[in-house]
Amino acid sequence: MSAPESTLSNEELISLLQEGNHRYFSEFTNRFEKYIFEKCRSYVKSKDIAEDLCQEVLIKVFLQLPGFRHEAKFSTWLFIIIHNTCVDYLRKSKKKVHVVLTEKLVDELTNMVDYDEELPEAKSIEILDSLLDELSHEEKLILLLKYKEKHHIKDIQLSLGLSESAVKMRLLRAKEKLNKMYAQRLKDRH
């Protein structure tokens, strides 16, 4: 006798789905749809578009779940599918992807930059916001995963198919690039 779906852990539920027990997908949807919708909504402001993207993500998860290897956290794997689906939508609809990613990262910027000079927070964020435009999509994604979404290096590594040292190096380079550009902007102000 199998346990009721609601008592299954997320790991058990995912394993059952991977084994081809598709009847559990409605339980998966019940658990993750709100999370997926909220993440999609953070990329697009329209509720209707976020709902469409949420459905697209659910379909992609259903199709790609057999390939999930349980090496990284499922939440990191799922976030990358959500992120890529939303970024693809933004690109196709000619929206400025970097603007959306910048908006998502702006709250975390002060934690990424080391500076001695005291600036009013609004001015500091204005400068940092303009600097984010100069980072590549990949640099923003890795910063977003680490600082905004708070994923562990190991999960980022496994989900992006990079080595641990490559993830650390890319994070370090992105932060160094931000710090260097920030210092230059401060210098240019004087």
pLDDT of residue 48: 95
Q: Domain check: are 10 and 68 in the same one?
A: yes
Q: Domain check: are 139 and 174 in the same one?
A: yes
Report whether pLDDT(119) > 60: yes
pTM equals 0.67
Q: Which residue has the tokens 């993830």?
A: 167
Residue 109's domain is classified under what CATH number? Answer: 1.20.140.160
Q: Which of 52, 75, 94 is the last residue in one of the domains?
A: 94
Give the structural domain span for 132.
Answer: 96-190
Report whether pLDDT(179) > 70: yes
Residue 67's domain is classified under what CATH number? Answer: 1.10.1740.10
Higher pLDDT, 31 or 130: 31
d(CA 186, CA 180): 10
